[in-house]
Amino acid sequence: MLHLFKETKVDFIGVRKYFYVFSAVMIVLSCVMFVTRGVKFGVDFTGGSLVQVKFYGPRSTVQTEQVRAALDKLGAGNASIQKFGEANEFLIRTEKLGTYGGKKFSDTVLAVLRSDFKCDQASLAANPSGALCDSIVRRMESTVGPRMGKELQSKAIWAVLLGFALILVYVTVRFDFRFGTTGVLALFHDLIIVVGVLSAFGREISIPVIAALLTIVGYDINDTVVVSDRIREDVRKMRKERYSDVVNGAINKTLSRTVITSLTVFLISLCLLIFGAASIKDFALAMVVGVIFGTYSSIFIVAELVVEWEKAMPTHTRRI
């Protein structure tokens, strides 16, 4: 078996209070983001139209304000416009539905943009015919009615809550109620921070992001099960050791496996975030942050909370 670390003896239990403080700070910052910046829901949940366009050609970098000025002609100047790097690629979200003036809204957007972004004078001199120097391409479009959006929002919330409930039942049956409860608390901890980061960057909660959150839930609980299983085995074998020492040893024994697994998922998610298409960047960002904090909580939070619980309400006749 591949080992990244060998025979580590880190005192995770001894420094647990520092990580409690760090987690509390991250949760408070996430809540501040919820209040100050809000949680933005995508077209999937609110209803409206989503158009993704990309500018090609010799024109210098297109600015968000230029795109907004063009959309003012449609009465859509208050649309949400998200630019991706220097790629001249924009995600335009508006509450307007699929048609505008008898035409598809995305077709109308393209027509207005192509009308506004014609050749500059230097390029026009090289193209006397007046043909467009810049090619504006529609890369994606989506339209969802408000009723369907509310229904999807409700189903997404229930999917996450049902996942938590089933995880609590599974871990309780497989191990005990304490591991199940602390595991679910860690999941809440991770998801609050992920959504807080998305809010801080102004990213939207869409169907792909919900898929990322559910993936993170499954990934995180898998790490929790691995650590919990090791603790259960060591508690039976090491009957004379202090409970906190047994837990600390179990975390150290599974540390290499946890970090290697996390690193592979993290690198793939990071590649998607850097090189992926604009439509999956929110998914990739959620995965990157989720893997980081999911790994963190499985090492520094879950088992430590079990030790705190055991200290307050002992179930073993050994010292803590």
Which pLDDT value is given to residue 95? 67
pLDDT value, residue 18 = 94
Among residues 263, 287, 253, 293, which one has the least CA distance to residue 12? 253
Which strand (E) or helix (H) includes residue 140?
strand 135-144
In whole angstroms, give the CA distance from residue 143 to residue 69.
23
**Residue predicted with more confidence, 190 or 93:** 190
- What is the crossing angle of helices 302-312 and 281-300, to 10°? 40
Question: What pLDDT shows up at residue 130?
Answer: 44
Phi, psi dihedrals of residue 104, rounded to the nearest 5° = -60, 140
Show the tokens assigned to 285.
Answer: 């960002």
**DSSP code of residue 59:** -
In the predicted model, what is the mean pLDDT of residues 149-164?
Answer: 76
**What confidence tens digit (pLDDT) does each residue in 17-45 have?**
999 999 999 999 999 998 898 888 776 67
Instruction: Check: CB of residue 319 under 8 Å from CB of residue 242.
Output: yes
pLDDT(131) > 60: no
Quote the pLDDT of residue 49. Answer: 77
Which candidate, 309, 313, 316, 307, places its Cα nearest to that of 13?
307
- Number of neighbouring beta carbons within 10 Å of residue 29: 14
**Residue-range domains of the chain with CATH:** 16-42+148-312 (1.20.1640.10), 48-144 (3.30.70)
CA-nearest of 256, 191, 183 to 222 is: 183
The rounded Cα 117 to chain-centroid distance in angstroms is 34
Q: What is the mean pLDDT of the chain?
A: 79
Find the range with the poorest average confidence among 15-24, 61-70, 80-89, 249-258: 80-89
CA distances to 39, 78, 110, 142, 271 from 73, rounded to whole Å, are 28, 11, 12, 21, 38
- State pLDDT tens for residues 72-113: 777 665 677 777 766 678 888 776 554 555 467 777 777 777
Instruction: Mark 286-297 as b/e (b = at least 16 C-beta within 10 Å).
Output: bbbbbbbbbbbb
Those residues with Cβ within 8 angstroms of residue 177's Cβ, 6 or more apart along the chain or in another chain: none
